[in-house]
Amino acid sequence: MSRAPATIALLLLAASLPAQQTPPPPPPEALGPPPAGDRITGQTIRVPSNLVNIIATVVTRREKLVTDLDKTEFKVSEDGQEQNIAFFARETDLPLRIGLLLDTSNSIRERLEFEKDAAIEFLHNTLRRRKDQAFLMIFDNEPAVVQSYTDDAGVLTAAVQHQRAGGGTALYDAIIQASAKLADAPQPADHSAVRRVIVVITDGDDNLSTGARGAAVEAAERAGAAIYCISSSTSWVAPEQYSDSKRRTERKYAKDEADRVLDEFASQTGGRAFFPFSVDDLGQSFQDIGEELRNQYSLAYVPPNRPLDGSYRKIRVDVTRKGLVVRARKGYYAIPPDTNTSH
């Protein structure tokens, strides 16, 4: 499809109304129309189309969400060079496009029923009819979309309930395919921006993918999708432990290679990795994801005037308030406009 015009006019009718959102979000490499900014009354804003857009989550060291920051408290840099934040908003109501990825390999057989119950509860608590949409992908020997985009949690619930465990694990291929599907996600009727998210339940092991781990990370970055991982590792917790209230207060401190894979997916894309100690902690992990998706910041800046050569450019987001942690994607690919597609 053709590239959006170089400038886009946004007319904000009155300060008493919420700021209008821009046309569809940026293409995967993040060069595109910006998110809505602060409220402005009675004027038209001309917005350059080559903005880099960032969604950021800010938490305390105890993972409590911080939602009262303003624009002056953020600092953004690209390849070490501080950037001027051109647009800022506390985005808590963006339509969601969610890819729910369920590991159905043999390695998670004992925990599958608990995972299905937690995933169903998440869908019912998170999806809003006529606003959010999600699809369900399973992966064992290979990924498969078993339910495409829908805003009906009941339809997704039926699809989740039918799943059975068996086979190997093609985690990286699943993330690559899910990223491609999210990059082409359905747009709202008013062409407002959407938030692309991958939620994957897996033990982090991969033994069958044709794609590499790096390719999976890159696919998510290009799609502008944040990855939220929930570990289903059985190497350190058994299903029967879920009712042991004493053990529920414990947490895993020594992470293995599979755990580090989940951490990498999350940290590179601005998501989060969860390592629930017991199976009935899964529900809390899903609840935390849903809450986080409603309490994030949207920032945008005009990148340095450098050739769009397809190179990867590093992004760093910090806040001046002490003791806080920022989660945001680590970079983007500088792709020329004529190689982009509209989503």
Confidence of residue 212 (pLDDT cuts 50, 70, 90): very high
Positive/negative CA dihedral, 17, 22, 23, 28: negative
Q: What is the pLDDT of residue 337?
A: 63
Would you say residue 271 has pLDDT above 50?
Answer: yes
- In the block, tokens 């917790």 appear at 237
Positive/negative CA dihedral, 84, 87, 92, 93: negative
- In the block, tokens 């760093």 appear at 316
Would you say residue 6 has pLDDT above 90?
Answer: no
Q: What is the pLDDT of residue 92?
A: 75
Mean pLDDT of 230-256: 60
CA distances 144 to 118, 159, 310, Å, are 20, 12, 30
How is the chain split among helix, strand and coil, in percent rounded to 5?
30, 30, 45
% of the chain residues with pLDDT over 70: 78
Judged on CB neighbours under 10 Å (0-12, 13-18, 19+), 273 is buried
Quote the CA–CA distance of 69 and 297 in Å, as a whole number: 9
Would you say residue 238 has pLDDT above 50?
Answer: no
Q: Under DSSP, is residue 46 helix (H, G, I), strand (E, B) or coil?
A: strand
Q: What is the pLDDT of residue 86?
A: 96
154: amino acid identity, one letter = G
Q: What is the pLDDT of residue 279?
A: 75
Contact (Cβ atoms closer than 8 angstroms) between residue 188 and residue 128:
no
Q: Does this model's pTM top 0.75?
A: yes
Mean pLDDT of 130-137: 97
Mean pLDDT, the chain, integer: 83
Confidence of residue 46 (pLDDT cuts 50, 70, 90): very low
Mean pLDDT of 313-335: 96
Neighbours of 185 (CB within 10 A): 24
CA distances 293 to 55, 94, 166, 200, 270, Å, are 10, 9, 32, 15, 11
Of 6, 14, 11, nearest to 32 by C-alpha is 6
Quote the CA–CA distance of 85 and 330 in Å, as a whole number: 16
Query: What region, left, alpha or beta, does residue 162 occupy, with left being phi > 0 and alpha being psi -120 to 50 degrees?
Result: alpha
Mean pLDDT of 314-318: 98
Encoded tokens for 8:
């886009």
Q: What is the pLDDT of residue 196?
A: 97
Length of the chain: 343
Of 343, 32, 22, 3, nearest to 185 by C-alpha is 343
Quote the CA–CA distance of 337 and 335 in Å, as a whole number: 6
Would you say residue 131 has pLDDT above 90?
Answer: yes
Would you say residue 210 has pLDDT above 90?
Answer: yes
Range picked from 233-247, 273-287, 322-336 for highest mean pLDDT: 322-336
Encoded tokens for 75:
């600092």
Q: Which helix (H) or strand (E) holds 331?
A: strand 331-333
Mean pLDDT of 116-137: 95
Would you say residue 321 has pLDDT above 90?
Answer: yes
Contact (Cβ atoms closer than 8 angstroms) between residue 35 and residue 298:
yes
DSSP code of residue 65: B
Q: What is the pLDDT of residue 252?
A: 54
Of 342, 343, 256, nearest to 3 by C-alpha is 342
CA distances 175 to 24, 65, 166, 272, Å, are 23, 27, 19, 15
Would you say residue 23 has pLDDT above 60?
Answer: no
Of 10, 68, 67, 61, nearest to 39 by C-alpha is 10
Contact (Cβ atoms closer than 8 angstroms) between residue 57 and residue 269:
no
pLDDT single digits (tens) 293-314? 999 999 999 999 888 899 999 9
Contact (Cβ atoms closer than 8 angstroms) between residue 276 and residue 41:
no
Mean pLDDT of 226-230: 97
Q: Which helix (H) or strand (E) holds 56?
A: strand 51-60
pLDDT single digits (tens) 146-160? 999 999 999 999 999
Sorted by where each starts, the structural domains of the chain and their CATH numbers stand as: 7-92+295-339 (no CATH), 96-293 (3.40.50.410)
